[in-house]
Amino acid sequence: MSIFRGSGVGNFTRGGQTTIHYFRMIWQVVVQFSRACLVLFIAAVAITYWIKTDPIERSIAIGYAEAYVKHEGLKLEDSTVSITYPDGRDRVIPAAGYLRNSGVQEIVGRSYTALLFGVVTGLVSLVIFSALVFRFLNSTGKGFSDEEFVRGGKLVDAKELGKTVKRTTKTAGLKMAGIPIPKDSEPAHFLVVGAPGTGKSETYKEMLSEFRRRGERAVVYDPAGDMVSHFFREGQDVILSPFDARGRSWDLWGECKEEYEFDQLAASFIPEQKSNDPFWTQAARLVFSAMARKLADHPQRSNRLFVDKILNASLEEIIGYLKGTEGAAILAEGAEKMAASVRAVLATYVRSLKYLQDSDDPFSIKDWVKNDGVDQWIFITRKDDQKEVVRPLITAWLDTASSAILSMKPCRDRRIWLMIDELPSLNRLPSLTDTLAQSRKFGGCGVLGVQSYPQLVGIYGRDDADALVGMCSTWAVFRFNEDRSAKWASNGLGATEQLETNEGISYGVNDIRDGVSLSRQRQLRPIVLPTEILFLPDLHGYLKLGRSFPVAKFVLKRKELKRRVEGFVDRKLNVEEVIVDEDLHGDADVSIDGKTEVEQTPDQMALKYRDGAIL
C-alpha cells in the first residue's frame, strides 16, 4: 500500500474516509441531540398542561377533540361521544350538540390556553437545555483535547501574573516589564539574561528609576555608560574609572584596615587559574598582600609605587623589603625561575593600578557601604577597548562592595543594590556567592546580567555558575542566539507535568473499522521550550518570580529617558601622572622609541620601567 503514501490518490482516500467518518459522527450526535430535545419538549408541554388543568377539564377537552374529529373531520352526522362525570357516571352525548355547548367551549378555551402555555414552557426549556448540553459537550470535548495541568509551574500572561502578585503579597513599587515584584523578593536577587540588544538595558533602566525614586543606594557596573548618561548626578554620585575624567581617585589602603582585608583584596585582583596547580595563584596573592601591607606605612605610598615595586625591583630588593613576611618565602633566593613565574602572574593583574590617579583623599567603597545616610550611587565604567586592562581592577571594586555589605549590621528594610551587567566580562568575584547567600538580612540586593551561559561557566565553572544563578529568585529571560544558553534558561524557568490527549483515527473498507480513539498520558515538559527562547523578538521575554508564582510572558515598552550627561568622558593621561617619582627611583625613562608616555600603548607603558633600586 506504499503507493498511497505521498500520492494524490492516497491523499484523496484519506481525506474522503476521515471526512465521511467525521460527518457520520456529527450526524449521530445531531440525531441523538434532537431526540433528547423532542422528548424534553413533549415532556415539558405535557407536564405544564397537566399542572394547569384539572381532571374534568382534561376529560372535557379530550371529548371535545373526539367530537370534532368525528363530526367535523369524518362528517359523521349521528356520531356521539362518551363523557365521564366526576361522580363516575357515564353519559353519551351527540357530537354536534357537544361541540355547540357553551360550557364545553369555555372549558375547552381554558384547556387551549393551558396547552399554549405548555408549548411556550417547552420552547423555553428546550432553549435552556440546548445551551447547557452544548456547553457541556463542548467543554467535555475541549477537556479531552486540551492539556490538563497536574503539578509544577504554569505559563500565564503578564496581566494575570500582576494580578496574582497584587492579590497575594505586598509590593513596594518595583516592577519588571510592568509586573510588580513582591517586596520579599527584592533581597532574593535578580538574574537578567539574554543576548545583546534583546532588552536587558531597558529592564535595568526601569529598575534604576524605581531605586532613584525610593532614594536607595546602588553600585552600578555599567560597561556601556548608558546608565551613567541617564542617572548620574554631577557633584553627588561617584564614578570609578581610571580612564574617565570624572573618575574619583582610589587606592588599596583605603579599603584595607585589617590584615585579612589585604588577603581578600589580593583574592579579588588575582583569580583562580584554570590550571590544576593552585600554587601560582596562591603565591601571587601572598606577595600582593605582603607588599601592600608593607607599603601601608610608607609616607609616599601610591598605586603606581606599588606597581613599580612589584614589577621592576630586583629580586634581592624585594626579598629584603618583604623580610619577615610570608611573601619573602615565596620569592626566596635561589628560586629565580619560580620568582619570575610568580611576578609574571602578578604583572597580569596589578598593572591596571598604574592608571589610577592618586590623591590625598581617595574614595573608599567600604566607607560608602557603611554610610547608610548618604544619597549617592557608584558607577563603575569602562570602554570596550579598555576591558582587558581594567578587568582585575573592576573585579576588585565590585568584590569589595559585595563583601562590605556582609560587614554591616542586620537590617531587612535596608536596600543596597549591586547591579552587575555582563557578569562574565569580569574575573571571578570571590565574595559574590557568599554575598548573595547571606546578604538578605543585611539588605543587599543583587541584579546580575548574563549574555551567555558558556561565558559564565568559563569564569566560574559549571557547578559554581549554577550555584551562583541559583541564588537569584527572580529571572528575566530574553532571547539567546545559541542553543546551549537557551536550554539552560529553559531549565531555569522550570517544568510542568500535565495530562495530554492523543487522538488516533482508524478507517477501512468496512464501516465497522472506522473510529476515533482518545488516550490520556502524563507528560513532563519544560514550561518554555528552548526553541521558544531562541525565536523571541527583541523586548519580549519570560519572567519567573519563583515561590508559588507562575511564569509570565511579557513585552517591554521602550522608554526614552532624559540624557543628563555623557556616558564616558575620556581622561587624558599626562606624563606627570604616570612617571615614577625620581626621588624614589632615580632617573625615569619617559619615552619609548621617541614617543612620550601619553602616546604609548598600555603594553609599551608597562615596559618603560627599568630594573633598579626603588628604596
**Residue 498: is its pLDDT beyond 80?**
no
**CA max distance for the chain:** 151
Predicted confidence band of residue 142 (pLDDT cuts 50, 70, 90): confident
How far, in Å, are 186, 401, 545 from residue 472 at the CA level? 10, 18, 10
Beta strand 217-221 pairing with 416-420: parallel
Q: What are phi and psi of 248, to 5 degrees?
A: -80, 155
- Residue 504 is predicted with a pLDDT of 64
- Residue 146 is predicted with a pLDDT of 65
User: Coil, helix or strand for 257?
Assistant: coil
For cell 556567592, what's the residue? Answer: 433
- Express as a percent the part of the chain with pLDDT over 70: 86
Sequence-separated (6 or more) residues with CB below 8 Å from residue 281:
270, 271, 272, 273, 345
User: Coil, helix or strand for 398?
Assistant: helix
Task: Report the helix count and the strand count for the chain, using DSSP H and E.
Answer: 23, 19
User: Coil, helix or strand for 483?
Assistant: helix
pTM, two decimal places: 0.74
Average pLDDT over residues 236-241: 96
Sequence-separated (6 or more) residues with CB below 8 Å from residue 574:
598
- Residue 280 is predicted with a pLDDT of 84
**Residue 126: is its pLDDT beyond 50?**
yes
- Residue 611 is predicted with a pLDDT of 34
For cell 492516497, what's the residue? Answer: 10
- Greatest mean pLDDT range, 20-29, 139-148, 297-306, 371-380: 371-380
Of 215-229, 314-328, 345-359, 527-541, the poorest mean pLDDT is in 314-328
- Residue 603 is predicted with a pLDDT of 38
Sequence-separated (6 or more) residues with CB below 8 Å from residue 531:
486
User: What's the DSSP call for residue 570?
Assistant: B
**Residue 402: is its pLDDT beyond 60?**
yes
Average pLDDT over residues 162-185: 93
Q: Are 404 and 416 in contact (CB under 8 A)?
A: no
Span(s) in the chain for CATH 1.10.8.80: 249-362
User: What does pLDDT average to over the chain?
Assistant: 84
User: Coil, helix or strand for 441?
Assistant: helix
The superfamily in CATH containing domain 249-362 is Magnesium chelatase subunit I, C-Terminal domain (1.10.8.80)
For cell 367551549, what's the residue? Answer: 105
**Residue 602: is its pLDDT beyond 50?**
no
